[in-house]
Amino acid sequence: MAFDHRKYSAFPVIRKTDRRWPDQVIEKSPQWCAVDLRDGNQALVKPMSVAQKQRLFDLLVKLGFKHIEIGFPAASQPDFDFCRKLIEEDRIPEDVTVQVLTQARAELIERTYEALEGAKRAIVHVYNSTSTVQREQVFGMDRDGIRDIAVNGARLVKAGAERYPDTEWTFQYSPESFTGTELDFAVEVVDAVNDIWRPDQGQPVIINLPATVEMATPNVFADQIEWMCDNLRYREHISISVHTHNDRGCGVAAAELAVMAGADRVEGTLMGNGERTGNMDLVTMAMNLYSQGVDPEVDLSCMSEITDVVEACTEIATHPRHPYAGELVFTAFSGSHQDAIRKCLARRNDNDPWEVAYLPIDPSDLGRRYEEVVRINSQSGKGGVAYVLERDYDITLPRWLQIEFSKLVQREAEVNGGEIDSDTIHRLFNEHYLQVADRWRLQSYDLHRGDDGVQARVELGQGDTLQGHGLGAVEAVAAAIRQHYGVEIAVEAYDEFALSEGTSANAMACIRVLADGEHRSAAALAEDTTSATIQALLSAVSGLLARAAARQEGEVAEV
């Protein structure tokens, strides 16, 4: 059998009776370390050139990352050269510390220090694998043998630093494959490393606990981190870092729970590029904090620049649904979402706290436009269509016309099969409601109000003059139409609006009439509300008459 779950076994439960992390709340940003130029780079089909590394480094600096792992200089010439370039060209800002990775092997550690010569400050990150699988199957060693690799590496790192006393050194150790390592052994190895480095005597030390492979649910990782924090010697003198991968799709969740469990520092990459399913995504985690009102201490407001640079350097496209960064993440197509967004945005004042349904953060914080928030296809409803007309054309529709017009847009979307853009919606609105033949265009009107109502005189485009009497203006014009064209009309719905300043017309009217069992709606823009109302009425009647004429000719265009 090819697909057989019995091949796998469950991750062993961590028995913990003093679990505290579930009650913690993240109230401050962890120290970030961006590892795009090392872990991200080592996972690329085409590792970055020096120029690409420089571009990504500059972006990370601009965004505010203070710890940046720039490569594995002993592994490849471009990594070595990039490290030298940053140092020799003095490209590392005063408040940024570069970090480099090395295995716990003498020749690699020596080369690493050569790469860092002349740096003002740097983090030397040494690792060796500690998990059961790696011990037994890769290294063929017992626990003591593996601990000795770590201790030897720690000694070599310390000795290397002593050869370059002008640099401020921080040492970092990772028990690689930590998630597959028995906790008591992980503590034993880390304590042995720290016994060499002595963080209690002033040596800055970072202990990085990686989910090299994500092997269990994020709560298990949090348990592992809390347990380590409780049991490591020198805890108060070291910074605990976590470095999660996304094998089960929970790299961000695991890092967040790890911070709740006591981690001080988080390693990851912009947009989560990295080995296999990727590293922890710094953009997502930082934005998650931001959306909870916590300052992430990096500025991601230039999101399109971030995606452009990451795509150019990694040659990996951004998924349109990528949290916070994807092209579609602030867009609602579905009707009920659009309706809710429109209502929330309409009620919102500029300085109100952000509480908008379906939008966890304000798109404008990331340089995104509100134009993207509502896009129309066959899944959309009246709220969305109305929102687009309001937003892009300052046209406010009454509810009854929203309902009617959205059906028309829906039909167009179904025929077209895709998205209906704002221009098309406006064109449909013009064609169906605003457009009117010249002969039906209002030239002038005169309304004379007397004790018994209003006497209307209306002059049309090609010289037709209509006259009628009614209780109000609308009724008087309706009577004029009846007398002139023999059409009995009843006004079913009617709304007028003043338009905002800056638009060419000052008023808009929308009307829906019934004549001979037929409904017809129309709208009109004009200098004043009375002109708009009379024009809308004339346009509706013209539509009815055109339809009747077409029916007579046997070519009814259903609207």
Ligand X SMILES: CC(C)C(=O)C(=O)O
Ligand Y SMILES: CC(=O)SCCNC(=O)CCNC(=O)[C@H](O)C(C)(C)COP(=O)(O)OP(=O)(O)OC[C@H]1O[C@@H](n2cnc3c(N)ncnc32)[C@H](O)[C@@H]1OP(=O)(O)O
Distance CA 59, CA 375 (A): 31
In whole angstroms, the minimum distance from the beta carbon of 30 to ligand Y comes to: 20
Q: What angle do CA 300, 304, 307 make, to 5 degrees?
A: 90
> Please, which residues bridge with residue 210 across strands?
243
In whole angstroms, the minimum distance from the beta carbon of 129 to ligand Y comes to: 6
Check residue 514 and give left, alpha or beta (phi > 0: left; psi -120 to 50: alpha): beta
Count of residues engaged in binding Mg ion, rule: CB under 5 A = 1
CB 251 within 8 A of CB 225: no
Does 69 bind ligand X (CB under 6 A)? Our answer is no
Query: Annotation-wise, does 279 bind a ligand?
Result: yes
Please give the residues from 401 up to 420 whose contact with ligand X meets the rule CB under 6 A.
none
3-state DSSP call for residue 129?
Answer: strand
| Among residues 212, 239, 318, 542, the one that binds ligand Y under rule CB under 6 A | 212
| Among residues 174, 378, 380, 402, the one that binds ligand X under rule CB under 6 A | 174
Distance CA 406, CA 427 (A): 13
Q: Which two tokens stand for residue 84?
A: 């030298």
Cβ proximity to ligand X: between 212 and 542 the closer is 212
Q: Which two tokens stand for residue 504?
A: 């060419």
Query: Annotation-wise, does 246 bind a ligand?
Result: no
Does 337 bind ligand X (CB under 6 A)? Our answer is no
Cβ proximity to ligand X: between 243 and 375 the closer is 243
98-130 burial: b if 16+ Cβ within 10 Å, else e:
bbbbbbbbeebbbbbbebbeebeebbbbbbbbb
Please give the residues from 230 up to 249 whose contact with ligand X meets the rule CB under 6 A.
243, 245
User: Quick one: which segment of 69-77, 115-123, 303-311, 498-506 binds ligand Y (CB under 6 A)?
Assistant: 69-77
Does 154 bind ligand Y (CB under 6 A)? Our answer is no
CB 262 within 8 A of CB 226: yes
Query: Annotation-wise, does 245 bind a ligand?
Result: yes
Cβ proximity to ligand X: between 242 and 385 the closer is 242
Quickly list DSSP for 331-354. -B-SHHHHHHHHHHHHH--TTS--
Tell me how crowded residue 546 is: count the other CB atoms within 10 A of its CB: 15
Please give the residues from 125 up to 144 whose contact with ligand X meets the rule CB under 6 A.
127
Q: Which of 361, 360, 358 is nearest to 374 (CA)?
A: 358
Site string for ligand Y, 11-40 (x = CB under 6 A): ----------------------------x-
Does 210 bind ligand X (CB under 6 A)? Our answer is yes
Cβ proximity to ligand X: between 180 and 543 the closer is 180
3-state DSSP call for residue 542?
Answer: helix
Q: Which does 152 bind (CB under 5 to 8 A by kind): ligand Y, ligand X, Mg ion, none?
A: none
Does 39 bind Mg ion (CB under 5 A)? Our answer is yes
**Residues contacting residue 389 through CB under 8 Å, at least 6 positions apart:** 395, 396, 397, 425, 426, 429
Query: Annotation-wise, does 243 bind a ligand?
Result: yes
Q: Where along the sequence are the contacts to ligand X (CB under 6 A)?
A: 39, 101, 127, 174, 176, 208, 210, 212, 243, 245
Residues that bind ligand Y (CB under 6 A): 39, 42, 72, 75-76, 103-105, 108, 127-128, 139, 149, 176, 212
Residues of each annotated binding site for Mg(2+): 39, 243, 245, 279
Binding residues: 39, 243, 245, 279
